[in-house]
Amino acid sequence: MNLAAKDIRHNFGRFALTTVGIGLLLMIVMGMGGIYRGLIREATLLVDKIGADLWVVQGSTRGPFAEVSRVSANLEDRARAVPGVAGARRFVSHTIQREHRGRPLRIVVQGLSWPEDRGGWIPLVAGRPLQQAHFEMIADRSLNLPLGERLQLGKDVYEVVGLASGMVGSGGDGLCFFSVSDAEAIQFDVPGEAVRLERQSRRARAAARDIGQVQPLLLERAAGPASDLPALAPPQVSAVMVALQPGADPAQVAATLATWPDITVYSTPQQVDLLLAGMVDKARRQLGLFRVLLIIISTIIMALIIYTLTLDKIHDIAMLKLMGARNGVIVGLILQQALLIGALGYGLAYWLGTFAFPRFPRLVVIETTDLVSLAAIVLGISVLSSLLGIWKAMRVEPNKVLS
């Protein structure tokens, strides 16, 4: 005869409620772990999917994700000349927040190195990759922009030609892919008045120099478009991604690139490490601490419940002792209930999670290893929480029956 089962049957309502409560707590613990995994996956998604072997970024920075990096766009051509390099692409990425149809829209503007990269590698659920150099975009599904939607960004209007799934930036915001020049146009867009003011101040600076006095034509140039000024810096990109020829040694190519003093080079795994060590680390510790707290809270709540369940039975436990029951019978009665609450709570947490987690605004990834370790933790807290009750039960004297 299983005493634990009989007692549960007798106190079913309370037992069920306790299990639901523990289940919900465990679901949060499980969700916390899933949010953490999701954070990592989202943070490293672009690096993983974009298919670069090496990342060339501004000298002594840890860009382009962990911090700002600026390199000149022609670095692309310099990189192509290195032996072992199959191709190089410009990397342009920045986040914008605009108002669209009355709601805020956060977009990670991602440049594709047109014409080599038209976004063929992006997992599309509808539409097509880019087909022209300008005014087309591929939007992530999470942005809720339908195919054919037109969006004014900067001075131009862009049309959604493709829909991607699961493409989000490290902040969880949906990605939009443009050609690099469009992405830069969006990034560096300034109002006409600002352009006029800048030209005016250039003209004023030139006029204040003696060369402006001797060469009046220069003043006219200064007031014209920036592209007509030979002395201005070339357009800048965040980084250059390098793809290697099959069989090329990444370490060797990286070593060659690293001799250039104006840049720093990272392999893709290094880039992932930078992302995780820097950006995700605090969030991870935050979630980790929160999980630990929740586990402690679950243990305390469960211990209290098991303790009160034991107190309710203390007279019966004294009677069992009086009849000569071994300690194993009494420990079994308490421990089995704790384990059952733990196991059912865990099952409930998992089941509820399958409904709840996909509806979370950010990605929640439940991995098997996490499920296994949580199961071990639940086993631990079930045993731990029953200790208080067991301690109480072990102390009761059989002649307590008489009082």
Partner 1 sequence: MNTPSPAAPALEASHLTKVYGSGNTEVVAMKDVSLTVARGEVVALLGPSGAGKSTLLTAIGLINPPTSGRIAIGGQAVMDADRALVDLRAFRRQHLGFVFQKANLIPFLNAVENVQVAMEINDVSPPAARSRALELLDYLGVAGRSHNLPDALSGGQQQRVAVARALANQPSLILADEPTAALDSQRGRQVMELFRKVAHERGAAVIVVTHDHRALDIFDRTYEMEDGQLKTN
Binding to partner 1 by residue 279, rule CB under 8 A?
no
Q: Which stretch binds partner 1 (CB under 8 A): 9-17, 48-56, 68-76, 302-310?
A: 9-17
* Binding letters toward partner 1, positions 380-399, x by CB under 8 A: -----------------xxx
Q: Which stretch binds partner 1 (CB under 8 A): 106-114, 248-256, 325-333, 351-359?
A: 325-333
The contacts of residue 315 (CB under 8 Å, 6+ apart) are 400, 401
Binding to partner 1 by residue 11, rule CB under 8 A?
yes
CA distance 62 to 64: 7
Please identify which residue in 294, 322, 352, 365 interacts with partner 1, judged by CB under 8 A. Answer: 322
Residue 262 near residue 78, CB atoms below 8 Å: no
CA distance 18 to 4: 15
Binding to partner 1 by residue 308, rule CB under 8 A?
no
Nearer to partner 1, 294 or 322 (CB): 322
User: Mind giving me the DSSP string for 108-139?
Assistant: EEEEE-TTT--STTS-EEEE----SSSSEEEE
Binding to partner 1 by residue 326, rule CB under 8 A?
yes
# binding residues, partner 1 (CB under 8 A): 23
Binding to partner 1 by residue 325, rule CB under 8 A?
yes
Binding to partner 1 by residue 309, rule CB under 8 A?
no
Residue 107 near residue 96, CB atoms below 8 Å: yes
**CA angle at residue 372 from 370 to 379, to 5 degrees?**
120
Q: How many CB atoms lie within 10 A of CB 99?
A: 8
User: Mind giving me the DSSP string for 360-373?
Assistant: SSS-----HHHHHH
The single-letter code of the amino acid at 118 is R
Binding to partner 1 by residue 340, rule CB under 8 A?
no
Binding to partner 1 by residue 329, rule CB under 8 A?
yes
Binding to partner 1 by residue 183, rule CB under 8 A?
no
Binding to partner 1 by residue 311, rule CB under 8 A?
no
Binding to partner 1 by residue 6, rule CB under 8 A?
yes
Q: Give the alpha-carbon dihedral of 292, 296, 298, 304, to 10 degrees.
A: 180
Binding to partner 1 by residue 9, rule CB under 8 A?
yes
Binding to partner 1 by residue 401, rule CB under 8 A?
yes
Interface with partner 1 by CB under 8 A: which residues? 1, 3, 6-7, 9-11, 315-316, 319-326, 329, 397-399, 401-402
